Structure 1
Amino acid sequence: MTTQGWILAVLAAMAVGMAKGGLAMVAILAVPLLSLVMSPVQAAGMMLPVYVASDIGGLIAFRRDFDLGVLATALPGAVGGVTLGWATAHLVPDWGVTLIVGLIGLVFALNALIRPDLSAAPRRTSLPKGSFWGGLAGYTSFVSHSGAPPWQVYVQPLRLPTVIYAGTTTWFFAVVNWVKLVPYAALGQLSASNLKAAAILTPVALASVWIGFRLVRIIPQVLFYKLITWGLLAVSLRLIWQALAG
Structure 2
Amino acid sequence: MIGGWEFYALAIPVVLLVGLSKGGFGGGLGTLAVPALSLMIDPRMAAGILLPILCTMDLVSLWSFRGRWDWANLKIMFPWAMVGLLGGALTFQYMSVDMIRLMIGVMALYFVGHYLWGKYLLQRLHAHGPSVWRGGFWSGVSGYVSYIAHAGGPPIAIYLLPQHLPKTVFVGTTVLFFSVVNYTKLVPYAFFGQLNIGNITTALVLLPFAPLGVLLGVYLHKRVSDRWFYWTCYGLLLVAGIKLLVEGAAGLLAA
The interval holding the TM-score normalised by the smaller chain is 0.7 to 0.9
Q: Is the Cα–Cα contact under 8 Å of residues 75 and 172 in structure 1 kept in the other structure?
A: yes
Three-state SS of the structure 2 residue aligned to 1:88 is helix
Matched, 1:62 2:59: no
Q: Which residue does 1:174 correspond to in 2?
A: 179
Of structures 1 and 2, the one with the larger relative CO (CA 8 A, separation 6+) is: 2
Within-5 A mapping of 1:168-207:
168-207=173-212
Residue 20 of structure 1: which of 19, 22, 26 is its match? 22
Summarize the Cα distance change of 1:117–1:22 in structure 2 as closer, same or farther, 3 Å threshold: closer
The residue that corresponds to 1:133 in the other structure is 138
Q: Deviation of residue 204 (structure 1)?
A: 1.1
* Root-mean-square deviation over aligned CA pairs: 2.3
Distance 1:153 1:230, change over 3 A: farther
Tell which deviates more after alignment, 5-14 or 177-186.
5-14
- Deviation per residue, 1:170-199 (Å, 9 max, x gap): 111111101110110111000101111111
Alpha-carbon separation, structure 1, partners of 2:15 and 2:121: 35
- 1:3-42 aligned at under 5 Å gives the runs 3-23=5-25, 24-42=27-45
The 1:75–1:197 alpha-carbon spacing in structure 2 relative to 1, beyond 3 Å, is same
The count of residues paired between Structure 1 and Structure 2 equals: 241
CA contact (8 A) 1:82 1:180 kept: yes
1:125, 1:143 → 2: CA distance?
26
Deviation at 1:209, TM superposition (A): 1.1
Q: Equivalents in 2 of 1:216, 1:126: separation in Å? A: 28
Structure 2 CA distance for aligned equivalents of residues 169 and 239 of structure 1: 24
Q: Which moved more, 1:4-13 or 1:140-149?
A: 4-13
- Structure 1 residue runs without a partner (length 5+): none
Match of 2:251 in 1: none
Q: Which amino acid aligns with 1:56?
A: L
Structure 2's unaligned 5+ residue stretches are 248-255
Cα distance change on mapping 1:100 and 1:134 into 2, 3 Å: farther
How far off is 1:240 after superposition? 4.2
Q: Residue 48 of structure 2 aligns with which residue?
A: 45
For normalisation by structure 2, the TM-score amounts to 0.85
